[in-house]
Amino acid sequence: MSTLVESNKILKIAVLTVSDTRNFETDKSGAYLVEQIESAGHELAKHKIVIDDIYQIRACLSQWIASDSIQAVIITGGTGFYGRDSTPEAIMPLFDKQMEGFGELFRSISFSEIGSSTIQSRALGGLANNTVIFSLPGSTGACRTAWTKIIKEQLDGDFKPCNFVKLLQTGIH
């Protein structure tokens, strides 16, 4: 039995892929996140793909953060500077509090992997209605970096000195 189950800190986490071209067969980043969420002992609450459109992203995310059954959302895609990339613009107005340190830390870690190209990452995080939201680039490598080096620990109630689980108490079963 996993530590999360023993300590009763299983979170319900949703994954949103933002892409004009991916579907469930070609969405490797979303599939990676789903696999990691379940491997960590959490429950996948929702998994959806939406096109890179501010209003579709915002509509989906608004429903999820209004739900009492979702404590965390991980978004992959739409954070760059190309074409229709608009995830940051879509989600920032929904935040009650922005998590500046997430984007800063992600880019710092990414620098050792991809060099100065990391400045084109607009990864960001925040809190909305007691839901923690992490927005990542669409590459599987970026999702792996964010999950293994930041998100996994912050969604583990036993990680010290602090994590987000206590802030999300209302939805823990």
Structural contact between residues 63 and 129, judged by C-beta atoms closer than 8 angstroms? no
| 24 in any annotated domain | yes
Q: What is the pLDDT of residue 172?
A: 47
Residue ranges of the alpha helices (H) in the chain? 3-6, 28-39, 54-66, 87-91, 100-114, 140-146, 152-154
Q: What is the CATH number of the domain that holds 116?
A: 3.40.980.10
**What are the pLDDT digits (tens) for 50-107?**
999 999 999 999 999 999 999 999 999 989 888 889 999 999 999 999 999 999 999 9
Mean pLDDT of the chain: 91
Tell me the CB-side half-sphere exposure of residue 152, using CA atoms within 13 A: 17
Using CA atoms, how far apart are residues 5 and 151, in angstroms rounded to an integer?
18
Q: What is the pLDDT of residue 83?
A: 82
Q: What is the pLDDT of residue 166?
A: 82
Which three-class secondary structure state does DSSP give residue 66?
Answer: helix
Using CA atoms, how far apart are residues 8 and 20, in angstroms rounded to an integer?
38
Residue ranges of the alpha helices (H) in 40-148? 54-66, 87-91, 100-114, 140-146
**Residue 34 structural domain:** 3-167
The number of distinct structural domains making up the chain is: 1
Using CA atoms, how far apart are residues 51 and 54, in angstroms rounded to an integer?
9
Give me the phi and psi of 53, to 5 degrees please: -135, 125
| 93 in any annotated domain | yes
| 172 in any annotated domain | no
**What are the pLDDT digits (tens) for 128-154?**
999 999 999 999 999 999 999 999 999
| 70 in any annotated domain | yes
| 113 in any annotated domain | yes
- DSSP secondary-structure letter at 117? G
| 79 in any annotated domain | yes
